[in-house]
Amino acid sequence: MRLNITSSTSSDGVVEQRFSLGEIPGVLWTPEAATGPRPLVLIGHGGGQHKTSPRVVAGARDFVTELGFAAVAIDAPGHGDQPRTPELDRAFTDMRTRAAAGEPMFELVAGLHTMLAERSVPQRRSVLDAVAELDRVGGGPVGYLGMSLGCGLGVPLVAAEPRIRAAVLGLFGALGLAEPAARITVPVRFVMQWDDERVPRQKALALFDAFAATEKTLHANPGGHGDVPEFETRDAVRFLARHLS
């Protein structure tokens, strides 16, 4: 399949192109004068968000303006403009019902992520195939950035995709992810919140421990799930620049 570019805008040196690949909706950001291969960062959004959530767009523009990279994001299954299926609707409804009954939220979310990953991993690999054919991107090295849901769906992707050379992951734990994490050998930067109300501390530490990468760093900050310091975003840009440039 080829990308179908549905709109293109340009501002402050960044070209933003919305596209569809079959039923997969996405956005590609590149430098205005881009020609030839360049590193590409695939950004995974958080739960309840979408491909153009503010932090996704801000991060994408940083990679373009500061490094000359390309960046791409797609909606996760059941999010944004992705088609909803009866199966996913039932899964979301079941999760909300069980959470209201007091069941541990982390276990419920981890189970849902497993279902979403079965759909999202092949979708994201197809997008990488299609984007690599564009002259504005080419077949340069790929990095991954994803927190929370972006981590839950990102770990299986990074484990399966040899084009990804480095990953920034975090705000999730080992339940259901230890096996694919053990197959990840590329450099990993892992971010966790020490007082995360959604992800038990030991689950997050267990996921970091499971990565097989010989170069992996743990960044733990005080505060809850949504309190990741802004400097972590800046440091993530530098980390991926070091490994993809």
Domain-embedded: residue 92: no
Separation between Cα atoms, residue 213 and residue 109, nearest integer Å: 25
Residue 99 lies in a domain: no
Mean pLDDT of 198-205: 94
User: 3-state class of 197 per DSSP?
Assistant: coil
Does residue 19 fall inside a structural domain?
A: yes
Q: How many domains does the chain have?
A: 1
- Residue-level pLDDT at 95: 73
Quote the tokens at residue 149: 């849901």
Query: In this structure, what CATH number is given to the domain that contains residue 76?
Result: 3.40.50.1820
What local confidence, expressed as pLDDT, does residue 199 receive?
92
Flag whether pLDDT at 97 surpasses 90: no
Length of the chain: 245
Q: In this predicted structure, what is the pLDDT of residue 181? A: 98
Whether pTM > 0.75 for this model: the answer is: yes
- Distance, in Å, from the CA atom of 72 to the CA atom of 38, rounded to the nearest integer, reads 13
Instruction: Give the count of alpha carbons within 13 A of 146, CB side only.
Output: 33
| pLDDT given at position 78 | 87
pLDDT at 129 over 90: yes
Contact 112, 79 (CB under 8 A): no
Q: What is the pLDDT of residue 109?
A: 75
| Residue 101: inside a domain | no
The DSSP letter of residue 76 is P
Host domain of residue 195: 4-85+111-244
Residue 151 lies in a domain: yes
> Over the stretch 60-74, which tens digit does the pLDDT of each residue have?
999 999 999 999 999
Within-domain flag for 102: no
For residue 100, being part of any structural domain is answered with: no
Question: Pseudo-torsion of CA 84, 85, 88, 89, nearest 10°?
Answer: 80
C-alpha closest to that of 65 among 115, 99, 14: 14
Q: Mean pLDDT across the stretch 232-236? A: 92
Chain centroid to CA 214: how far? 21
For position 29, what pLDDT does the model report?
A: 98
Match 């809850």 to its residue by tokens: 224
Establish if 71 belongs to a structural domain. yes
